[in-house]
Structure formats: C-alpha cells, structure tokens
Amino acid sequence: MIRIFITSTNTEIGKTYISSLIINKLKLTHKIEYCKPVASGGDEDINYIKTKTNIKTHNFYTFKTPVSPHLASQIEHIKICPKTIKNKISKINTEILLIEGAGGLITPITKNYHIYDLIKETNSKPILITHTNIGSINDTLLSIEFMKKENILPVGIIFNRYSGHFFEKDNINMIKNYTKLPIIGIINENNDKSKKIININKIIKECEKK
C-alpha cells in the first residue's frame, strides 16, 4: 500500500482542496481512501472530502476549537494517543491511503509529537503544499531543509494560489532550482478558470521509488 501524506508550510494553505483534486484523479485508476487523523475546528475538512470525492474517509480525533491539536486536546479534555493513531492507520486496507495533516509540517499533535513524526512513523510519502506569494522562497526552503534533516524529503511540491504575478514565477523557479524536487502542480484554488493541473503520474512514480 502507498501512503501519501499531504503536509504544508503553514495552515490554511489549501491542503484539503488539493487533497480532493489528487483523490478525484487517483480514484479513476486506483482504490483510494482518505484519512484526517486529527482535525481542529470541527469536521469541515472531512465533510468537504466526502462531498467532493465520495470515497471512504477516516478520522480519529475531531476538536471544535480551531487551534493546534495539542491545545485543542487540552481545552476539550480529550487526550490524543499517537500510538492509537498509528495502529488505526496500519489497519486501513486499501491500495492508496491519502493522509492529510493538521496545520503545517511541525504542528504539534501532542506536546511531544508532531506532524512530521506521524509522517515518519507511518512510512508515508509526503507532498509539500506551499504558496507562491512573497515569502514563499523562505517558507518553502525552511520546510525542505527541516524535512531533509528528518529524512522525510517530499516526493514533490505543489504550489497553490498562483495568480501569475512576475515574482511568483521567480519564486517557483528559485525553489525548483534550489531543491531539485519535482514540481507536481501549480494551481489556484481561488480561480475556477485555472487549469488546476496536478501531475498524477509523477506522484505515483515518485511514491513507488524506494
């Protein structure tokens, strides 16, 4: 089974939207399920995926409070157990499991357990979602360097909210030249006229590498 993990340079960057695009392409040729292990701020993301993709979904902890999971857990007096999350993920039987993280790459799930820990311990193939606005180079390269250090280099990068400004094109080129990582997609979720192209073949090819 291939586990694809959608993570990002920050929160509110379009992970759920991009997850739906990837799922709707992959489900044409593969059996795929979706997992949002921990959700903060309600079940909006899970419901969005159900509505947009009509596939089986999994969720283990949902908090009403729209803050980092470790804090939402404290506020709502519900303890998060990373071992439980890993065990439940290991029991999901499908060809491809797309896992969406909460917040960004280093968001704490508990005080001592983070999104990047879950990526490592589930042997997932991460895809990094980033933006193209001013600051993109800094945000993206810091995330990539951290992922290198943790030995979870992403199989590729997807740029979201691209609007065609001259500096956005330079941001993308600088990140591509520096990281040498595959660019899987350049899309704009805020513009229905954008092509929203994601290279599914490249995702599968990179995920199948050892």
Catalytic residues: 36
Structure token digits, residue 88: 């439940």
Residues 6+ apart with CB under 8 A from 185: 18, 21, 158, 159, 196, 197, 198, 199
Q: What are phi and psi of 125, to 5 degrees?
A: -100, 105
**198-206: long-range contacts, CB 8 A cutoff, minimum separation 24:** 198/18, 198/21, 198/22, 198/25, 198/158, 199/156, 200/22, 200/25, 200/26, 202/156, 203/4, 203/22, 203/26, 203/127, 203/155, 203/156, 204/2, 204/26, 206/125, 206/155, 206/156, 206/182
Amino acid at position 1, single letter: M
